[in-house]
Structure formats: C-alpha cells, structure tokens
Chains A and B, each alone.
Chain A
Amino acid sequence: MSAPPIVALEVGTSTVRALVGELTDEGQLIVTGMGESPSRGVRKGEVIDFDNALACVRDALQKAEDNSHVTINAVHLLVSGGHISSHVNHGSAPVLGDDHEIGPADIENAEKMARAVSLPTGHEVLHSIHQRYLVDGNLPVVNPEGLEGTKIGVDMLIVHGQCNAMRNIVRVVRSAQVDVADVAFSGLCTALAVLTPAEKKNGVLMMDLGGGTTDYIAYAEERLADAGAFAVGGDHLSNDLAFGFGLPPSEAERIKLEFGTAVPDFALRNQTVTVNPGTGQPPRQVRLADLQTILHVRIEEILVLVREQLRQNKLISKLGSGVVLTGGGARLKKVEQLAEKIFGLPCRIGKPREVSGMVSVMEQPECAAVVGMLRYAAKSVPPRSGIIDWIIKIFRRKS
C-alpha cells in the first residue's frame, strides 16, 4: 500500500464536498471516493448557521466514507471568503559568515523578515509564498544558496484572512469528530489543480467562480503575483433573478442553470420562459431578454471587479497565457466569450488535470479546488504557518 488516503474537504456556499484520494508511488493522484451534500448554513464562503453547516459536513463525509471504504479521521480543509487577500512583502538579511557564501540559515533569516508583516486587526497569515530572491539588490535569482553576497533579500506573497471566519469553519469540522490536518486558501488549491506549468510560467489569471465567492490567483513573471477572493458569486446571479422576477431562490436557480448565458443572445430576445413562482401562484412567462440581461450585467461586474484588482497591481499585461475560468460559474454559457472581451485575453475553462479514478471528478470544474487540495496536501508537508497550528492546537486542547 502506498501513502495513506488523503481527504480534502470544502465547505462551500452551494456544496459541501469531500474528496478522498491517494498518491501512488509514481506520484499519480487517484481519486477513490467523493461525498457531496447541498450546502446549507454557508453564505459567501462563511458559516452563518453552525448546526446546518455541521449537518451538511457530516452528510458529505459519511457519503465519502461509504464511497471510498475508508474511515475519515482527518481532513485537509479549504477556506475562502471575501476577507482573504494578499500582498507582497519584502524581507532582507545580511549574509553571515566570513566567506559571504549564502547558506540556508541566511535564506531563512530573510524569509523570516519577509513574513513579519503588519496585517489588519483580526487577520492572520494563511500562506506565505516566496516569489524571488535578490542577492545584494541585484537581478532576481531562483536559488541563492551557494552564491556569494553580503545581503540576501526575498519577496514573499502573504495571503491572509480573518481569523474568526476561518476558525468558524474549523469549529464546524471539529464538531463532526474529525481532525483538521491543514488549512489552505481554496483559490491556491484550484490553481494547483487546473493550471499547467507552461501557463504559470507565461503568466495566467485563474478565477474560481464559486457559489458565494470568486477566488482569483494570478501568476506573472514566473511567480505567484496576486491572490484573493471577492464575496460575490453564483448566489448573487440567482438572487438577482429571484428579485427581478419575484421568484423563490430554487426557481431562480433553475432558470439560471437552464437558460442562463453570460452574453445575451439577440436572436432569442423575444422568447419567453415559463416560470413557476410557487406558493399557489400560477406559472407565468418572463422574457428571456430580461433573464439574460440580469445575468450579463452581474457576471460582467464580477469579472470587471477582478480585472480592476489586477490592473491596480499592473498585472494584466503580464498574463501571457490569458485567463482560466473554473468553478460552477464556468458552466454558464458563453462566459469565456465575455471574459475574453473584458480582459482582452484568451480564455479557457479549467478542469482538474492529471487525476485518475472517478471520471465524474475530472469533468467538473466545481471539483477543481478539492482536487487541488489533494495535490497540495500530498506534495507538501508544508511548514505550517502560525495561524493554522494555532487554530488546530486550540481545538486539540479542548477536545
């Protein structure tokens, strides 16, 4: 038997999803089981109703256990939410020792300085990812170890989020009698699952159009350049329809999936769609043109939000490989077309790569994040950042 199975858990806004996978000795990722449960109690990636969320987590884990025939003791947990954002921090340290040869200790010192950031109150570091090293302030190098210099500098991307929001999700999972082995930003995991090495090298923007949040990750100049999330997503699309047509959420969701498109189709403008308002009201007709317009302006707004964020950091021109869309929102018809127009870059739909096992998983953009988490967990025995250890410790102590 190879390494023990890994379980990734995503407590999403529309779905709670647990994925069980194994890494073979050859480094191949095999998915052996999955459990999904429609999510209740989560909005915009954050827990708003503890009991409902817990029930959904239990349900999803149970299904995953039945499915994969393993007992789940610990999970690798994905987090998202509008509170997650990132910024670049620089740290530097003098090279110690008489020979001025850079050793691991020097690099570590510099990294330590780069990790020492001042964050908004209540925020903690979720990931710190090194971007590049600078020796004596000169051109960046990939690996400074063994080079000579007097000063070593490092740029790090610090991904941080609000403590309370992340702790709430961990609490829910812990209450389901399962350990949390690790916590990672879902955008980062999704990028691991869908982006090719070439895309990361040329520069790419990955957007995970989720139910409650839109996560984004940008690679530029061969490094992770930006990461974050906005608390708008597919839920908002449905909610806009529900409001515009006076429909219950479930019916709004249905017409979104059935008739939704990101770019209005003029040929169909005069058609109507029958909707069922429920609560004893008779079915009625709504205009397809209205439906498409409502969705178009919302999805356009979301994409523009991300574009403006990247513009601020002057990244748009560095995305040689264009835009990759994934998550449930990537299923919206013509969404690539709209993204191409808004970003002025080629766009593709990203699905989990290099996975074997359950075929259904590979075909679904929604599964990208959990697949990425399996890879993240399998590859790295990551040096845990402070918060995660701390959160986990707190709960260990209690239980």
Chain B
Amino acid sequence: MNASLRLVEGEGVLAAAAPYRLLVLGVGGGGCRAARHVASLLSDLNVAAIDSDDQALKETALPVQLSIGRALTRGFGAGGDAAIGKVAAEDEDVKLRKLVEGMDLVFVITTLGGGTGSGAAPVVARLAHEQGALTICFASTPFDFEANRDKGAAQEALRQLRMHSDATICLPNQRLLEIVPDQAPLKSAFDASDHMISMAVIGIWKLLTEVGLIRLNFSDLKNLVENSGGACSFGYAEGEGPDKAQQASQALLASPLLDHGNVLAQADAFLVNILGGPDLALLDVQRVMSNIQQVAKHEAKVFMGATVDDDWQGRLMVTVLAAEHWVARTPLAPVVPPPAPPEPAVAAPVAAAQAGESAAVLPAQSELVFEKRDRGRFEKSEPTKHGDEDLDVPTFLRRGIKILSDRA
C-alpha cells in the first residue's frame, strides 16, 4: 500500500546482518534526521523512520518509512503537540508492532520537546518492549535557546520513555554548547546533536558486533541497562597517534557529555568499550581503563570490552555507557506505586491506562516516586499550589533533576 509495508514484505533483508536482530527507529523530525545520520555512517544497519510529517519523512530517504497519524494530521506533522503525536502512534499500533516483531534489540532515537518525538516515541518504545525486544531509547532534550520547544513536555516525555523502555539515554543538547564553538553556525549545533546520538548508537552497535579482543556481549548490555533504573548516560572520545589512549581517556573525562567526569565518578555501574585498529595494544586498553578507574567509585560494577576494526588503524575510540543507579531488579515489581495520593499526577495512572493489559505483565521499570516526606518547614502552612503542582516540593525533585552529592 505504501512504503511502510515494504519492511514487512522484505523481512529477510532485516534478519540477515548480525546474530542480533537490531532495528534503529528514528521517531519524529529530529529522530529521523539523526537516524539518517546513523544510516549514512553505518550502511549495514536496519534503520526505519517514523514521523507524522510526510514531507520530512520523504526527505530522510531511508528505505523504510512509516507515516503515522494520517487520519489526524493528514501527513502535516503533529505541530508541536505531544498529545497528537501520542494518538498518532497509537493509531498505528498494528503496523508498529509488525515493524518491531522478532527484534532482539530496538534503538528508538528521538528528539524531545516537539510533537511527534515527545508523543510517539514512548508509545513506540512500549510496543517494542512488549514485543520482547531489549529497547534502548536515545533522546535528546532541547537546547535552552529553542524557545519553540516545550521543555516541560520534554521532561514529561523523558519520564514516559524511562518507564516504557529498558533504558533511556538522555543526551541534553545544552551540554553540547560547551563543545560547539561560540561562533559556529547554528546548523553545526544541530549537526553536533545528530552526531552525538549517532555516536551513541554506533558505539553500542559496534560493541555488540565487532570482533572483540575482549568481548562484551548482548547479555552484558542487557544486564547493565535492565538494572540501570532506566537512566543511562553516554559519552565517547577519540584519540589518534601513539598517544591515543591517553588522549582519548583525557578527552572522555573532560567531556561535557559525562559532566566532566562527574557522571563516571558517581555511576554505580558502567560499560566501557574501546574500539581501535589492528594496532590496538594491550597497553592502550590498560591505560584507558586505569584512567577511568581512577575517577570511578571503587565498588562500581564495570563491564569492559575492546574491539578491533580495520578502519581504525592508528586511532582509538572509547565509549562509555554509565548507569546512574544500580538496582537489582526484583522481578514483577508492582508497577503502580502503592495508593499514591493525588500527588502532582505522577505518570503512573497515565501509564497504566495507556499500557492497558501490558502493565500487569511487564516487569516495567521502577519510576522515581516522590517520597511522601514530611513537609518539614512548611508543615503547618497551607500548601502552595499552582495549577496541579505543589510548589512546596523542591523544584529539582519535581523536574526529576538528579543530585549527585551524597545525602547524609
């Protein structure tokens, strides 16, 4: 009927490439753009684009395209409304399920703050997860200057993603501003964002597929993301020449993606992959690891791998996926927190309604639940409500901002 069905017809193409069946899905305008970038860097990857804007979809020139929400938007996009994006994806439930059927690993790439990305990506992630694929989301949050992007909606979407995927890697675009020079053209900021997402996808893909000196496998990755409490950070750095190991590890620790090494210092578990050419020496690996371990916590769980790629002669890349929490997963943990009072509408009821029957079956991720704490200083005063928010609850808690310092 249309391009979207091509995938289903030609299933054989998808299954061939690797021992793990991986599908990369770009959702929404930004997501598709990044997915295209990924496809251009790695040709043997199965990449599909999902958007509600037909024109944008066509421009991606990806072999597999799925237009969603036709009935709703007539192919003109969600217009920045996440609610439309969500319904658009739910309408295409059957096609989306078909798309992810039989996959071992699904990467959902999206940029949050718009309509389709924020609304549809959580639905896509949920469907992929329900179909049994290990689902990892790569979501970028908007730059501060993107006034047209709704940051509140972006945070909400991020929470939804974390709930419905095995792990969500959040890539705050704002951190990129430290990398992109002040005078750089605007486009380069967005290119950097696409590149960042692509590197994350490729880094993880390489680690699973390339010949490993020290092999990391799918179960290591699965182990890490499933126990990560849903939030992972990603960072990478490259080095070149005889000094490449030193260069790369220093660049990694200075990288704003990992908050200048702070993420590593605080992570409870992380996965390091070192990608090099045939000349990759044991010493290089040792150097990188010792540099990282100097920063990391002693008790942190480390998964480590080293892979060789002929293209990387004389060069080296370190990729790190850090889990901010390590929560040994209790199987079938209750999804809905025990009778939560009508607090700032925690996404749980929404999620339950949306996930329907699946909520009961899936060992869905634990969501950050507001501790019902004593109101401390404001105990005897009337709560300050604004809309449905209780302003007495610390802002950083309501926004889900993680505090890395130790508490007591």
Contact = CB atoms under 8 A, between A and B. Distances in A.
Contacts of B405: 244-245, 272, 285-287, 290
Contacts of A103: none
B397 A298 contact: no
A289 B262 contact: yes
Interface stretch (A40-48, A179-187, A201-209, A322-330): A40-48
Interface in B219-254: none
B394 A301 contact: no
B378 A284 contact: no
B378 A244 contact: no
Contact of A286 (B262, B391, B406): B406
A240 B407 contact: no
A49 B376 contact: no
A351 to B, nearest CB: 28
Contacts of A287: 262, 404-405
Interface stretch (A71-79, A113-121, A229-237): A229-237
5 contacts: A82-B382, A244-B394, A281-B408, A293-B403, A298-B396
A94 interface: no
Contacts of A300: 395
Interface string B369-406: 00001001110111010100001101111010101111
Interface of A: 43-44, 46, 48-49, 82, 230-232, 235-236, 238-240, 242-246, 249, 266, 269-270, 272, 277, 281, 284-287, 289-290, 293-294, 297-298, 300-301, 305
Contacts, number: 99
Given A281-B408, A294-B395, A294-B396, 19 more contacts: A49-B380, A231-B382, A231-B384, A235-B377, A239-B376, A239-B394, A242-B377, A243-B376, A243-B397, A245-B405, A245-B407, A249-B376, A270-B262, A286-B406, A289-B259, A290-B404, A293-B403, A294-B394, A298-B394
B381 A44 contact: yes
A297 B262 CA distance: 20
Contacts of B391: 230-232, 236, 301
Nearest to A213: B384
Contacts of B404: 287, 289-290
- B-side binding surface: helix, strand, loop or mixed? loop
Given A246-B407, A293-B396, A43 B380 contact: yes
Nearest to A162: B382
B178 interface: yes
A82 B380 CA distance: 15
Contacts of A298: 394-396
B297 interface: no
Contacts of B380: 43, 48-49
Query: Which of B260, B399, B407 gathers the greatest number of chain A CB atoms within 10 Å?
Result: B407
Kindly name the residue among B261, B378, B396 whose own CB sees the greatest number of chain A CB atoms within 10 A. Answer: B396
B288 to A, nearest CB: 21
A1 B373 CA distance: 58
A124 B378 CA distance: 25
Given A235-B377, A269-B260, A294-B396, A230 B384 contact: yes
Q: Which of A82, A243, A266, A272 has the most CB of B within 10 A?
A: A243
A48 B395 CA distance: 24
B377 A244 contact: no
Contact of B406 (A43, A284, A301): A284
